[in-house]
Structure 1
Amino acid sequence: MGDGNGSKLGFWGAVSISVGGMIGGGVFAVLGVVTTIAGAASWLAFALACTVSTCAAYSYLKLNRIGEQRGGSVSQLEEYLDSTEIAGIVGWTLLFGYVGAMAMYAYAFGSFAVALTPSPVLDAVPLGEGLLRPVYSVCAVGIFVALNVLGARATGTSEEALVAVKVAVLLAFGGLGLWYGFTNDSLELGLSVVSQVSPVVMATAISFVSFQGWQLLMYDQGSIENPAENLPKAIYVSIAVTVLIDGLIAIIVTSLASPDVIQAHPERALALAVEPVIGSIGFVIVSIAAIFSTGSAINGTLFSAAHFAKGMIGDGLLPDKTGRASADGAPQRTVVVLGGLAALFTAYGSLDGITSFGSLAFMTVFGVMSYLAFRERAHDEITPVLPAVGVVGTAVFSALLVWHLWSAKRGTFFVVVGVAAAVLAVELLYFEREHVADGIETVEQEIASEFERTG
């Protein structure tokens, strides 16, 4: 992910890659879903998710530091557990989590594109927004699949510039919103909601999908200058910057926009909140920023996920038919497969379903990696408290998310559980394929023997 002349990402370039993905997920996609659950206490939900995500990041980084291999979850699981099956299942889970994340970004991209579509065009389209949103979302995925297949990538410098503009826009709106809230006595921190533990913890579970962008840096260590020093700093700084922005924007949105307005279009929560303050120009500016932000998040996630999958193909953890491990750069077939799955998910999935599935996938992987670090707690480098918090936090929030879906979103529950079960079944079939084949062969031989005996 270095620039076109082969130079590597510096510290700020790495921070920009990480923050770009997390802002795309937090502010422009999952924020509205979180605020419909936790209301004005949404800032606390983001803070709690950030805490557990930071513990997972600590676990990743420490395992990366003390081990012989440098990489993400799959490399570390192979090294510390010496189990290709477990490493492969976690890797597949992570890949499907990235597919869910891209689908979420594309969903938000499509929604903001619809918001900027002139009314006459909307009126002329059959089903209006109901048709255009999926079309825009699928087209967004298609564009970035094509760019990655052609080898076109944002450079480290351009990514820094784009993220700097997005952060500046968000901080400007955040400052303006704080001023407006104070002067109109409408600023709300949700302290009354905090005492109601259930909404906050449910919203925390949903928001995990917005704190996974830092993980992409683990797979691009070779593209970072002095990774031993810059990688940990970049990850921690990017998480801190993201939770600060997410929390600030959450306060502004829940203070300035009514729950009914957010409920109607949760993915446009920020744009809807600033419109009453500075008029339609604010809505347009936020919408344009959201399109750029979610677009770059699709691009970055697709690129890194394809490279991650390439490593799995090389290790025999993914079928050869999904791409060539010897490909120069991201395997084209892998990019198309991942993009196709994301397009399918974003076209037919609901925002609740997509964010819930993504959060469950990442919580599962974060929990496994935190447990792995806790197992290595005898090492002087590792402080066991942080991995323990990661294990307990992900386990508790995963269970609470499933309970929330069952009790409040029954339809989404069945979709998410069904997709998760299908993914797990495919994973198990792939990694147990030799045993299955042996079993089938044995049964066939027994049937043939019985036929010969009785025939």
Structure 2
Amino acid sequence: MDSQGSNGPGGIGDGAGRLGGREASDASKAMTVRGAAFLGVGSMVGAGIFALLGEAGAVAGSAVWVSFLVAGIVATLQGYAVAKLGARYPSSGGVVTFLLQAYGRGHTTAIASWLLYFAAVIVTAMVAVSFGSYGTALLFDDSVAWSRILTVAVVLVVAAVNIFGAKLLDRVQTTIVVLLLAVFAVFVVVTLAQVDPALLARSTYPPAVDIVSSVALTFFAYLGFTVVSFTGGDLPNPSRNLPRAMYLALGITIALYVLISIGVFGTLTVDEVIANGETALAVAAKPALGDAGFAIMAFAALLATSSSANANLYAAVGSTAKLAESGSFPPVFGRSVRIGGTGGLVITAALILLLSLFVDLTAIASLGSVVALAIFMVTSIGAFRLRKDIGANTSILVVGIVLTAVVLAVFAVQTLRTSPQTFAGMVAILALAAILELVWDRLRARRA
């Protein structure tokens, strides 16, 4: 493997680095710590709390708040590694740049790039399904047909936005996050005031192994923290400001998730949360705020999930174009198409639609979390290899790697035991990434 500098192909990072509409070379558009942190909060919240409460409740029961807390600790440990790498190698290249620094341009980096792409597709499919569920509950009385129609509609709309540009969404990103935080603050206050301690008693918790296993699922809600690392090329003094933005984003999100999950499971039974699935948050607000509370939370969910879908699709399209340019992905991903945009946009939107319409929601979240956990563990190992260069604390890196490995192992064993099909999907997606890299590597060699 040959090593690459910080200006190597950025992959996922180059796409996500442009989410804020700021180029690293444009000093007049430098991002603030608050802007970088809110970018991460917006990405995490859109892909997390609205979509996962019902799924997590089916595994962790009323101990979902514990699962979110542990997943937040894992994300923070990984965030430490990513922040150190981003501070040392500030670039819009994000995670792919870090992998290139740690492993060079070889199979490890290439397979990881495919997995990162798969994760982006899975996350976007998850939030698209959540958008459809909330939109239907708000407008069409839980019609399954309308839920699918809205799911397809949001994917097509954000695809169109990516063809014509997303400058408007860029400008209002901070506004959206502030509005969401204000809504959540009201929700937390009214639900915590009505919490029934009996619903959260330890006697209602499932076995510890189930709670640990659920961490791989709730970790899905924190996937957006890596978006902060993509701002390294835009932040002034990134060695100081990037870690601050990372920890601020994670701190806000962890507190938000823990308080919301306590409020929901403290006012609704586990069965009620599971039955309402993606709309559990809005249902929990209804007793205190009435129909208006349901409508407000549902509208907040529509804002958060559509924004997250757009951001993730934008990142995936931008990254595939860059990977195609560097030769890591087939050229078709970077070619322009007649309808506008690139081949990567068409391919990615099609994959998102297929997953949204034909794959079970739990499977989507589980696969996305597992892929992300594996990639972040590889990234943390890369940070360990570069620990002297990046000035990282060895103990923190080791704890993060070990804790992530434990969560992955427990989840894999539990999934194999309780859901063999999901386990097969996990193996298949890893195998697919390896096969795609080997096939493209051979084709690339023939062309050369």
Q: Under a length normalisation based on structure 1, what TM-score does the superposition of the two structures give? A: 0.85
SS of aligned partner of 1:102: helix
- Counterparts of residues 100-111 of structure 1 (less than 5 Å): 100-111=122-133
* Larger deviation, residues 260-269 vs 407-416: 407-416
Correspondence 1:208 to 2:222: no
Deviation at 1:389, TM superposition (A): 1.9
Match of 1:83 among 80, 86, 105: 105
CA 1:275/1:222 → structure 2, altered by over 3 Å: closer, same or farther?
Answer: same
| 1:246 alignment partner AA | Y
Task: Give the alignment's Cα RMSD to 1 decimal.
Answer: 2.6
Match of 1:139 among 138, 153, 158: 153
- Counterparts of residues 234-249 of structure 1 (less than 5 Å): 234-249=245-260
User: How many residues are treated as equivalent by the alignment?
Assistant: 423
Contact 1:2 1:8 in 2 (8 A): no
Correspondence 1:29 to 2:29: no
- Choose 1 or 2 for highest CA Rg: 1
- Counterparts of residues 190-201 of structure 1 (less than 5 Å): 190-192=201-203, 196-201=207-212
In structure 2, C-alpha distance between the alignment counterparts of 1:67 and 1:173, rounded to whole Å: 39
Deviation at 1:103, TM superposition (A): 0.6
* Larger deviation, residues 262-271 vs 423-432: 423-432
In structure 2, C-alpha distance between the alignment counterparts of 1:309 and 1:159, rounded to whole Å: 23
Correspondence 1:295 to 2:306: yes
- Counterparts of residues 165-184 of structure 1 (less than 5 Å): 165-181=179-195
Correspondence 1:43 to 2:54: no
CA 1:56/1:223 → structure 2, altered by over 3 Å: closer, same or farther?
Answer: same
Q: Which residue of 1 aligns with 2:31?
A: 9
Correspondence 1:233 to 2:247: no
Contact 1:49 1:204 in 2 (8 A): yes
Unaligned runs of at least 5 residues, structure 2: 1-18
Deviation at 1:85, TM superposition (A): 2.1
Q: Under a length normalisation based on structure 2, what TM-score does the superposition of the two structures give? A: 0.87
Contact 1:64 1:70 in 2 (8 A): no
Q: Deviations over 1:100-140 (max 9, x none)?
A: 10011101001111112334xx7xxxxx41x3322211211
Deviation at 1:3, TM superposition (A): 5.8
Deviation at 1:261, TM superposition (A): 1.9
Deviation at 1:306, TM superposition (A): 2.3
SS of aligned partner of 1:134: helix
Deviation at 1:69, TM superposition (A): 6.4
Contact 2:122 2:355 in 1 (8 A): yes
- Counterparts of residues 327-346 of structure 1 (less than 5 Å): 332-346=342-356
CA 1:190/1:241 → structure 2, altered by over 3 Å: closer, same or farther?
Answer: farther
CA 1:434/1:8 → structure 2, altered by over 3 Å: closer, same or farther?
Answer: closer
In structure 1, C-alpha distance between the alignment counterparts of 2:106 and 2:431, rounded to whole Å: 21
SS of aligned partner of 1:257: coil
Contact 1:38 1:193 in 2 (8 A): no
Deviation at 1:10, TM superposition (A): 1.8
Deviation at 1:408, TM superposition (A): 2.3
Contact 2:37 2:228 in 1 (8 A): no
* Larger deviation, residues 57-66 vs 231-240: 57-66
| 1:233 alignment partner AA | R
Match of 2:271 among 260, 273, 297: 260
- Counterparts of residues 282-431 of structure 1 (less than 5 Å): 282-324=293-335, 332-379=342-389, 381-431=391-441
SS of aligned partner of 1:212: helix
CA 1:66/1:163 → structure 2, altered by over 3 Å: closer, same or farther?
Answer: closer
Correspondence 1:65 to 2:76: no
* Larger deviation, residues 74-83 vs 425-434: 425-434
SS of aligned partner of 2:161: helix
| 2:40 alignment partner AA | S
Match of 2:136 among 114, 121, 129: 114
* Larger deviation, residues 253-262 vs 152-161: 152-161
| 2:176 alignment partner AA | L
Report percent identity of matched pairs. 29
In structure 2, C-alpha distance between the alignment counterparts of 1:412 and 1:380, rounded to whole Å: 37
* Larger deviation, residues 187-196 vs 281-290: 187-196
